[in-house]
Amino acid sequence: MAEKGGDRDPEGDEAIGLRERAARAAVQRQAWSVGVATGAYGISFGALSVASGLDVWQTVALSALMFTGGSQFAFVGVIGAGGTGLAAIATSTLLGIRNGLYGLQVSEFLGTRGAARAVAAQLTIDESTAVGIAQEADHHRRQGFWTTGWAVYLFWNAFTLAGAVLGNTLGDPRRWGLDAAAAAAFVALLWPRLKGRDAAGTAAVAVVLTVVVAPVAPAGVPVLVAALAAVVVGLWPGQGGRPGQGGRT
């Protein structure tokens, strides 16, 4: 028990410290697991890029500088199909628009300035945004964003190089299940967030849109189409966010 006179309770402080360390460790595990699962899929991009006609260093440069998976796959897809460089750039830029929308979300808790803001922009991707906003406190959101961003960047670039160098000796990288591993990491991250009707409705609509569009659309486009789920649910009658209707996470 705390002593009179406003003295702090050492046992209470210790318990708070233990909870904080446990929370930070949980964020670290989540961030690195997503980083490894997503980064490993870079081997598929490396192999596909070389098969599309780019050399190893061009492939590595794409991952290091562009660093947004959907846009990268779209870029090499256009090149591999015989499209012009301008067409490849236009397609990949269109798919990269979503990262700008993510920036609006993460800027609310990152609070970066100057050079750090430029680095944060480079690391603003699906995974870093998802892990960041999944946390409850701002300092944990920052931890999740930065750790996930650097983890994905490290593994994505390392596996891109491996895929580019090994090339056809790997066979079809999709048979290794790396794409499924990345998707599984997202599902694990999303599931605890589906606590209300709005969140569950958004997820359901997104799934339907993705299933319909994925078989016929280029890489990355299903992500943009699925994002319309939030608009559909938001505009649905009775989903105006009025007090008492809740359901939002």
Q: Which amino acid is at 143?
A: Q
CB 121 within 8 Å of CB 29: no
What pLDDT is stored for residue 77 in this prediction? 80
Those residues with Cβ within 8 angstroms of residue 239's Cβ, 6 or more apart along the chain or in another chain: 198, 233, 245
Whole-number Å distance between alpha carbons of 142 and 34: 16
What pLDDT is stored for residue 86 in this prediction? 82
User: What tokens does 208 get?
Assistant: 């339907």
What pLDDT is stored for residue 168 in this prediction? 61
What pLDDT is stored for residue 99 in this prediction? 85
What pLDDT is stored for residue 180 in this prediction? 54
What pLDDT is stored for residue 51 in this prediction? 83
pTM over 0.75: no
CB 73 within 8 Å of CB 44: no
**What would the DSSP string read from start to end of 119-183?**
HHHHH-SHHHHHHHHTSSSHHHHHHHHHHHHHHHHHHHHHHHHHHHHHGGGG--GGGGTHHHHHH
Ranges under pLDDT 50 in the chain:
1-3, 5, 240-249
What pLDDT is stored for residue 31 in this prediction? 92
Sign of CA dihedral 233, 238, 242, 245: negative
What pLDDT is stored for residue 81 in this prediction? 76
Tokens 């500088």 belong to which residue? 65
User: What tokens does 145 get?
Assistant: 């964003």
What pLDDT is stored for residue 245 in this prediction? 39
Q: Where are the domains of the chain?
A: 16-172, 194-249
| pLDDT tens, residue by residue, 11-52 | 567 777 788 889 899 999 999 999 998 888 888 888 888 888
What pLDDT is stored for residue 246 in this prediction? 36
Alpha helices in 81-113 (DSSP H): 85-110
Q: Which amino acid is at 221?
A: V
